[in-house]
Amino acid sequence: MLVRLIVRRLLFLVFVLFGLSLLTFGLSHIIPGDPARLMAGPRASQSTVDKIREQYGLNDPLPQQYVTYVTNLAHGDLGTSFTTRRPVSEDLKRYLPATIELGAVAFVMATLIGIPLGIVSSVRRDKLPDHVARFVSISGLALPVFWLAIMAQFVFFGRLGWLPDGARIPIGMDAPPTLTGMYILDSIVARDWDLLRTSLLHLIMPATVLAYGSLAVITRMVRGGMLEVLNQDYIRTARAKGISPRTVIFGHAVKNAMLPTVTSLGLQIGLLLSGAFLVEIVFSWPGIGRYAVEAIQRLDYNATMATTLVIALVFVLMNLLVDILYLFLDPRISY
């Protein structure tokens, strides 16, 4: 059953990516503008612009450009970025690990804080912990991430000077030898503790800001799920039988309340990736978000398509993972 689910979803993924590539290609080409002119700059002669257009196949009819793109994509070639003039796959290798590292730390923070907060909030309903949790979750949902990022930077860097303004490490400092591209892991492998400390210090603020919105959603989901479960008859029965509150909550309620939260967690990973776009701009974080924003501004079709496809891929794979987790969390579910 599990294998069938995975195969079915992966087949579905092919169609999703195909549809998405068509949509992104169409939308990015609707914007009037000439990427060759943007690459060459406003002072470039027409012959230079023409040369660039020829070099990147921009003179071909649109359907032909799309067919070429998809054919190359099928062979694992994502094309060349107009912005960096490197193969897009090389750019992704360079920038994606930074975003994955940021997103992963944010996800861990959101989960480790959000789930306990949701549980405490539901168990202590209408008491101080609940008020705090609700404040956290409402503010997390209400505050735009870019505003939060600018404010956090203003307070913790600009006023207090406790944390760096951004970037993964100070420019000029040597990055760890690339193994995963994630500085925390790579510096641990390299046993470079100074670099690890610096990387963590640089990660705290962007990861916290990025995590805040997801933390809010997770807290609310857990709280809602828990409140529903805690009113169920079997919980009341368990309590009546004298089972300790700890066992009732963690042994019976939490597991059953987690199903909707797991769905939300899967989506949060995708949202964290896309939310990273704004956070990366404010914190000068050299990840895929900033790469994508520059790509969009410069009509860098190949880079725009690639980043869109990567995010879509992550969303679909996360949903698949969630579906698989369901099978373990609730044996009654079948696909």
Partner 1 sequence: MNDAHFNRLFALARSGKLSRRQILETGLRLGLASPIIASLIDAAPRSVVAAPAAPSKDPAALPARQESSGALQVIITSGTEDIDPHYSYSTLSSTVALAVYEGLVTLKGESTDEFEPMLAESWEVSEDQSTYTFKLYPDVLFQDETPANAQAVKDSYTRWIELEGSPVNVITRFCDSPDKMEVVDDTTLRFNLGSPQPLFLAAMASSYGPSVISPTAIAENATEEDPYAHEWARTFAVGSGPYILESNSINEGLVLSRYEGYHRGWDGNHFDQIIFRVVPEDSTRRQLLERGEADAAAFNLTVDAVAAMRDNPALQVVEYPSSAVSWAILNAPRLLTPEVRQGLSYAFPYDEVQNVVFQGLLQRSGPIAEGVRGYDPDVFVYPTDLDRARELVIAGGFAEGDVFEYMVDANDEREQTIAQLFQANIQQMGFGLEILAVDYATVESTIFGDAPAEEKPHIIGGWGWWPDYNDPWNQLWPNFTEANIGNGGSNAGAWVNPRFEEIMAEAENYEDEERLAELMIEAQNILTEQDPPAIYYGQIIRYTVLGANIQGFVPNPLYLDSFNFYGMSRASS
Could you list the residues that contact partner 1 (CB under 8 A)? 31-35, 37-49, 51, 83-85, 95, 124, 126-129, 131, 150, 153-155, 157-167, 170-174, 198, 201, 281-284, 286, 290-291, 294, 297-299
Contact 282, 145 (CB under 8 A): no
Any idea which residue has 């992966």 for tokens? 10
Cβ 116 to partner 1, closest distance in Å?
A: 16
Cβ 268 to partner 1, closest distance in Å?
A: 25
What tokens does 119 get? 């549980």
Toward partner 1, which CB reaches closer, 51 or 239?
Answer: 51
**Residues with Cβ within 8 Å of residue 159, at least 6 apart in sequence:** none
Toward partner 1, which CB reaches closer, 60 or 165?
Answer: 165
Cβ 286 to partner 1, closest distance in Å?
A: 4
3-state SS assignment for residue 303: helix
Toward partner 1, which CB reaches closer, 298 or 329?
Answer: 298
Toward partner 1, which CB reaches closer, 150 or 188?
Answer: 150
Q: Which helix (H) or strand (E) holds 64?
A: helix 62-74
Toward partner 1, which CB reaches closer, 228 or 294?
Answer: 294
Cβ 124 to partner 1, closest distance in Å?
A: 7
Cβ 54 to partner 1, closest distance in Å?
A: 13
Of 141, 143, 138, 165, the residue nearest 154 (C-alpha): 165
From the CB of residue 197, how many other CB atoms can be counted at a distance below 10 Å?
11
CA 312 to chain centre: 11
3-state SS assignment for residue 236: helix
What tokens does 308 get? 């869109």
